[in-house]
Structure 1
Amino acid sequence: MSPAPVSTPNFSSLRDLEQHDAFIARHIGPNDAEIAQMLHVIGHDSLESMTDAIVPAKIKSPAPLALPQAITEVEALAKIRLIADKNQVFRSFIGQGYYGTHTPNVILRNILENPAWYTAYTPYQAEISQGRMEALINFQTLCADLTGMEIANASLLDEATAAAEAMTLAKRSCKSRSNVFFVSSGVHPQTLEVLKTRAEAMGIELHIGDDAQAATVDSYGILLQYPNTFGRIGDYKALADAAHARGALVAVATDLLALTLIAAPGEWGADIVVGNSQRFGVPFGNGGPHAAFMACRDAYKRSMPGRLIGVSIDAEGKPAYRLTLQTREQHIRREKATSNICTAQVLLAVMASMYAVYHGPEGLTRIARRTHRLGAILAASLRQAGVDVGTDFFDTLHITGVDAVALHDKAAAARLNLRAIDANSVGISLDETTTRADVLSLAALFGASIDDIDALDTTTADALPTALLRKSSFLTHPVFNTHHSEHELLRYMRALADKDLAMDRTMIPLGSCTMKLNATAEMIPVTWPEFGNIHPLAPNAQTTGYKELIDGLEAMLVECTGYDAVSLQPNSGAQGEYAGLLAIRAYHRSRNEGHRDICLIPESAHGTNPASAQMCGMTVVVTKCDSNGNVDVEDIRRAAEKHSGRLAALMITYPSTHGVFEEDIVAICEIVHAHGGQVYTDGANMNALVGVAKPGKWGSDVSHLNLHKTFCIPHGGGGPGVGPCAVKSHLAPFLPKTLGGEGVVGMVSAASHGSASILPISWMYITLMGTQGLRKATQVALLNANYIAKRLEAHYPTLYTGRNGLVAHECILDLRPLKDATGIGAEDVAKRLIDFGFHAPTLSFPVAGTLMVEPTESESQSELDRFIDAMIQIRDEIRAVEDGKLDREDNPLKHAPHTATMVSASEWTHAYPRELAAFPLASLKLQKYWSPVARVDNVYGDKNIMCACIPIDAYKEEAEA
């Protein structure tokens, strides 16, 4: 076959030449010739005519986005470099939950900067996620071992929200009937703020006081900080015993590095332990993203929020990882959810786990010992100079009786940051990055001098309380005691990555998740020290670059959405939902209508919607959808009329979760407003709207946006995410306040600007694409989805379509009739796709027995055709079952995926050929992904829960067998 002729563009002007170098064509998969061909397949002659046929005229934007034109990668990187250079990177000793750390270069290059890790999706499909789940099992083991607890989850968003989850977990699990949660005044300030926000909305009474008061206050739970925010290490065993005696639970926020030296909370009575793994190799990043954790006693595992990786077996009886206890996932529990968590911080948890693997228990202890010794030496020198320094600390010195203002001025002149506590005290937190020179400089601020650090070292005792020294071992599993050379760690990480399917290998056609290109140029600024090495509490004068970036991105998002104000604080989509509903709740209260508590949610909505509503104290009323997948407008009208006096909000996804543009969205907004409610539009599907329509202009009052979907922040295997909350002007006063700032609504995340260090990605994406590129991206997303639906319509019907028989940016393929006829269901098709080297589409959501496909604009026609060819071949295999040519039970779908071990075994017992199992398409002989495990047994995993590293003996038994 001769190659297709190469067309030569006709550049008629300098502008044509310059525009050809713009980023648009790098981001959008199909070229113009392919776009024309695909348009022909769906029956349109241009993107504009297709857009007119899909998008209701009532909501279309009358003018282009008021954003600059597209530019090149070189130009965009130069612009953001100028912004980054406005930040000043001082040596920060502020602490307060954030510490300097060295990211091992082998982890920086091969995890954080490696698309095999950062473009992966949440490990819902176990067979193609074994590598990242092993890394998460390592993280869980790390957290459980160091905290002395029996089980830990696969990360939470940040320490403050993890503490809030501990507060509600204790409420669900304790025997006490009290509604009071006691919080130590030694807890970090940002944690206190988030706790106040969460408690107020859920009707929990907080009692904040000194540790000593905890024994006397009748509470259902206690939260302690160990070491506390001022560095002091308290002995809480008696307090824990007293709490247990009255039926209360004890939650502890802690520091993983400190726990290498001091007794684990689980050893002196803690029931729930939370914290942040940031200092295990993850930069400050102006506050995030960082992987928090929760560990608890085994008794609470079924109530623990977040994701949990467990060990099961595959169809061949071999160990295999999977998400366990998935019924806890909030999209399943909906309004009965105990939390709205729908994401984690997987990429950062992987980094932290690899940091622990690399250093091992001895290396971590050595880092902790060095940090502590430097702190003890500094404290000794300050005391010799007459300075009052706290005792019983790990790495943080609480210094009192000083002129704090003068000290901060001297520190700033030396490019050092100390913690501001009050006018007479400061804090100094040392860390892995602290040097001898730093200690000398810090001592000099107080007029102290150290002639010989080594000499002072020999005469200075540790500041750790003797009764609380750690005696138990930790991280004894071989994985933490093997990979300490760079060669070994590099090969271990590569071996794990090779087990997985991420976007560096294949399209991930997940509906409602928008797995689009995370361009390299967008990612590059994330690891610049001017963004990564900024402490979230650094003085404003040092963060003018960040302010310009944040202000600029907020303005871009305002323009894209049609709203008036944006908060970037929420660090996940669910947090954005929560912030939006809190704004609505506060708005009603400001108008003396605090009784409004009914939230209408269509049955097709994302599951986090009702979960977020119940967290805000709202009562969820579910409304119906019609047979075409549209929300039932009359049912919404009836519900709005019925609950008119109490109506707070409607939460609606647009385009709908069923993949169609609702024709009556404007009328729906008018109905809700007529009855005093506010309209919340879930921004999960914003990829179908940017540059085409603006929710803030058609009547919506608030949306959250998923920057990790529409605006190109990578999914990272299930996190990080960013979920900004965008509102109309009347709700702007009710956006979350910043730490130390003013506002009606409290903080929803630990850091004022959430996961600030990844905001450059979205800033770069919008800057690179410009006004015309963003619109074209939306149009090609619509085109790609309709192209797949059209080409597959003879094989799999699309369940729902909108106007003119077209879908939005995703389509739902209905496999239910095939299940009825052959016994082969959507899950079998999902597993068989692995044999073709594809991650499956979204399985059985929003409709059981279906596959929801969202190809995104980043996928080329050739990749779409590869997926289509695979789906057609699978349909042919199903027809073979229908026709009796393949056995109803012994067929390649029922036994998929097929591992290399299976098809190369000396015996082959199946009724279908090996070649059909392994190479159903000839193209697979040129490039083939092999699933590392056969189909994973979900039932076994839930019955036999094990959520830590697999004992090495399990592999020996497998080898012997």
Structure 2
Amino acid sequence: MERIKRSSKTRDFHQAKWNEPIIFELHQPGEKGVELPPVNKEVAAAVGDGTSVIQESMQRKSRPNLPEIGQARVLRHYLRLSQETLGSDFNVEIGQGTCTMKYIPKINELLIRDPKMMELHPLQNEGTVQGMLEVFHNLDLCMREISGMDCFSFQPSSGTQALFAMASIVRKYHETRGERDKRDEIITTIFSHPSQAATAAVKGYKIITLHPDENGFPDIEKLKAVVSERTAGFVVANPEDTGIFNPRIKEFTDIVHQAGGLCFYDQANANGLLGITRAKEAGFDMCFFNLHKTFAAPHMCGGPATGALGVTAELKPFLPAPIVELKDGKYTLQYDLEHSIGKVRTFHGVAQTVLRSYAWIRALGAEGLKEVAKIAVLNNNYMYHKVLEIRGASAPYVKGHRLEQVRYSWEQMTNETGVTTEDVTRRMTDFGLHYWTSHHPYIVKQPFTLEPTESYSKEDLDEYIHALEQISKEAYENPEIVKSAPHCSTIHKMDEQDFLDDPEKWCITWRSYLKKTAVCETIK
């Protein structure tokens, strides 16, 4: 029997399907997962009943509405849900372009599950967490070397929150110089992440957006035309979300600085830059990295994410407080920052995420980080050339200058077959894969954005490319196969509905579900 060449075949995949209730519907009164032993009489005599010492205002009036379920049924429930989910540990996850989905070393997951980490509390006395504060401080030193910045805060909980913090610093900086009301404009680019414009707008800034020149680079002549005494700052991603790297970025920051503005750098897409370029040499006053992307910590639905925010020495007094500093041989949380913008998050940062990233950096070292960037760029450019050989696919704008990702287009295929990028998205799940289209607005028509990272082998890339080739072939020969996809998923093509646009149809908690179903029953 001939051996299947996995590098040139799509997988025979079918998503598992379980008619699985939500966990509250599995509730059986009296069913227990753990049977606690009775309290020893001597213990009870020493500590009391355990509740009377709690002041009455803090005591619940009723039991929490939690489901009662045995251990085996809980295990089956979550394992079944996991089988209905694609994720970065389950499939070749190169399709979530701009989000840098990479392999996360499992040994680092063991580190953060250590009881000493699991039991940390953000209000502990500094003297009891010197080890963790040392990790925060050492990661700060690593990030300074990687970026050229002079101080980092790990307080922001995401890249978007780091952007908000940077826009807040820009505003506070100009306020201390008596120019807050005069400088009311922030310049950005159309291919940068929408959060850049959104967070600056939340701070009250007028947004000026640069569109690309004929090659896809931010138009430097347009920058010269819009920069003025009203310019507060310039925020950009480089490479941008298209994957195009602007080699003239220092000219952009120089122009803004000459006008008195600050320059801040979205480095969420930094996987192709480590050890090769730095924010400092590009002329930036601030930058952020997503630990949950470039530095190998999980996204986890935006929960324990961290946007590491770095600034020059001049802007250190404006950072959100506290920051971790080493004084007289002890690590301490420093709150006394003269012009601090205040907290952007209740506590300093997510210790587990910081530890993961620190362990990843220490394991790789300086040369290893540079190797990450080189492999990410190599993988991306291999895929770039292969995808451009697929019928109906293209990569608009400049040829080359692509680093860690590319925003491609199916515009030609759509015009010739009627198959859209959304159709391809659904069809990819039939092969146990998925891809992401683009942020809105779709400046690149019929887009799809791929980022291979350093985690995937040539065989992995070939499997993904072959799936795209197969779908293109189907689109031209039998487009209904693609248009009616998915065929091997638990959920098939949904009718166009307004569920996501109508808050009255949302039930994001069990309590809200009960309330809304009760209302419906009353109406009936």
Q: How has the CA–CA distance of structure 1 residues 437 and 787 changed in structure 2, closer, same or farther, with 3 Å as cutoff?
A: farther
**Which residue of 470, 476, 499 corresponds with 1:873?**
470
CA contact 2:16–2:83 (8 Å) conserved in 1: no
> Match of 2:455, as an amino acid?
S
Q: How has the CA–CA distance of structure 1 residues 870 and 541 changed in structure 2, closer, same or farther, with 3 Å as cutoff?
A: same
Per the alignment, residue 491 of structure 1 pairs with 76
**Which residue of 609, 614, 617 corresponds with 2:204?**
617
Shift of 1:358: 9.5
Write out aligned runs for 1:530-929 (5 A): 530-595=116-181, 596-640=183-227, 644-738=228-322, 741-743=335-337, 744=339, 745-751=341-347, 753-795=348-390, 796-800=392-396, 802=398, 805-843=400-438, 847-880=444-477, 886=478, 891-899=480-488
Per the alignment, residue 329 of structure 2 pairs with none
What is the distance in 1 between the residues matched to 2:346 and 2:43? 29
What is the distance in 2 between the residues matched to 1:512 and 1:861? 20
Q: Give the TM-score, by structure 2 length.
A: 0.83
1:697 aligned counterpart, secondary structure? coil
> Match of 1:819, as an amino acid?
T
Per the alignment, residue 112 of structure 2 pairs with 526
Shift of 1:647: 0.9
Per the alignment, residue 493 of structure 2 pairs with 935
> Match of 2:74, as an amino acid?
L
Shift of 1:532: 2.1
> Match of 1:507, as an amino acid?
V
Q: Deviations over 1:890-913 (max 9, x none)?
A: x111111113xxxxxxxxxxxxxx
CA contact 1:826–1:843 (8 Å) conserved in 2: no
Shift of 1:359: 9.0
Write out aligned runs for 1:423-502 (5 A): 453=48, 464=56, 470=61, 475=65, 481=67, 484-502=69-87
Q: Deviations over 1:7-33 (max 9, x none)?
A: xxxxxxxxxxxxxxxxxxxxxxxxxxx
607-616 or 791-800, which deviates more: 791-800
What is the distance in 1 between the residues matched to 2:311 and 2:401? 30
CA contact 1:581–1:613 (8 Å) conserved in 2: yes
CA contact 1:563–1:697 (8 Å) conserved in 2: no
1:504 aligned counterpart, secondary structure? coil
> Match of 2:72, as an amino acid?
H
**Which residue of 61, 82, 88 corresponds with 1:503?**
88
Shift of 1:806: 4.5
CA contact 1:722–1:755 (8 Å) conserved in 2: yes
What is the distance in 1 between the residues matched to 2:269 and 2:491? 33
Shift of 1:572: 1.1
CA contact 1:623–1:639 (8 Å) conserved in 2: no
Identity %: 28
Write out aligned runs for 1:412-423 (5 A): none
Q: How has the CA–CA distance of structure 1 residues 720 and 627 changed in structure 2, closer, same or farther, with 3 Å as cutoff?
A: farther
> Match of 2:139, as an amino acid?
L
1:687 aligned counterpart, secondary structure? coil
1:771 aligned counterpart, secondary structure? helix
> Match of 1:936, as an amino acid?
M
1:680 aligned counterpart, secondary structure? strand
1:730 aligned counterpart, secondary structure? helix
CA contact 2:232–2:262 (8 Å) conserved in 1: yes
Q: Deviations over 1:492-542 (max 9, x none)?
A: 000000001012221222111100111112222111122221221111111
CA contact 1:661–1:808 (8 Å) conserved in 2: yes
Q: How has the CA–CA distance of structure 1 residues 561 and 362 changed in structure 2, closer, same or farther, with 3 Å as cutoff?
A: farther
Write out aligned runs for 1:127-526 (5 A): 453=48, 464=56, 470=61, 475=65, 481=67, 484-509=69-94, 510-526=96-112
Could you tell me which runs of 5 or more consecutive residues in structure 1 were left unpaired when the two chains were aligned.
Answer: 4-33, 35-126, 139-353, 371-434, 441-449, 881-885, 900-930, 955-961
Shift of 1:947: 1.7
CA contact 2:191–2:242 (8 Å) conserved in 1: yes
CA contact 2:89–2:103 (8 Å) conserved in 1: no
Q: How has the CA–CA distance of structure 1 residues 469 and 809 changed in structure 2, closer, same or farther, with 3 Å as cutoff?
A: closer
2:408 aligned counterpart, secondary structure? strand
2:175 aligned counterpart, secondary structure? helix
Q: How many residues align?
A: 480
What is the distance in 2 between the residues matched to 1:465 and 1:790? 66
What is the distance in 2 between the residues matched to 1:586 and 1:361? 56
Shift of 1:593: 2.1
Q: Deviations over 1:775-807 (max 9, x none)?
A: 1110111111111110121224432465x6342
What is the distance in 1 between the residues matched to 2:403 and 2:244? 5
> Match of 1:526, as an amino acid?
I
2:188 aligned counterpart, secondary structure? strand
Q: How has the CA–CA distance of structure 1 residues 361 and 832 changed in structure 2, closer, same or farther, with 3 Å as cutoff?
A: same
739-748 or 652-661, which deviates more: 739-748
> Match of 1:487, as an amino acid?
A
Shift of 1:705: 0.9
Q: How has the CA–CA distance of structure 1 residues 436 and 528 changed in structure 2, closer, same or farther, with 3 Å as cutoff?
A: farther
What is the distance in 1 between the residues matched to 2:189 and 2:405? 19
Structure index of larger Rg: 1
What is the distance in 2 between the residues matched to 1:833 and 1:873? 10
Shift of 1:769: 0.9
Q: How has the CA–CA distance of structure 1 residues 452 and 730 changed in structure 2, closer, same or farther, with 3 Å as cutoff?
A: closer
What is the distance in 2 between the residues matched to 1:732 and 1:461? 45
Could you tell me which runs of 5 or more consecutive residues in structure 2 were left unpaired when the two chains were aligned.
Answer: 8-13, 323-332, 518-524
Shift of 1:879: 1.8
Shift of 1:129: 12
CA contact 1:711–1:762 (8 Å) conserved in 2: yes
Q: How has the CA–CA distance of structure 1 residues 825 and 129 changed in structure 2, closer, same or farther, with 3 Å as cutoff?
A: farther
CA contact 2:393–2:413 (8 Å) conserved in 1: no
Q: Give the TM-score, by structure 1 length.
A: 0.46
> Match of 2:186, as an amino acid?
C
Shift of 1:848: 4.1
Give the superposed CA RMSD: 3.5
Shift of 1:719: 3.5
Shift of 1:713: 0.5
What is the distance in 1 between the residues matched to 2:135 and 2:490? 42
Runs of 4+ in 1 over 4 A off after TM superposition: 127-131, 356-364, 435-440, 460-463, 468-471, 843-846, 948-951
CA contact 1:831–1:840 (8 Å) conserved in 2: no
Shift of 1:474: 7.4
Q: How has the CA–CA distance of structure 1 residues 526 and 771 changed in structure 2, closer, same or farther, with 3 Å as cutoff?
A: same
1:605 aligned counterpart, secondary structure? coil
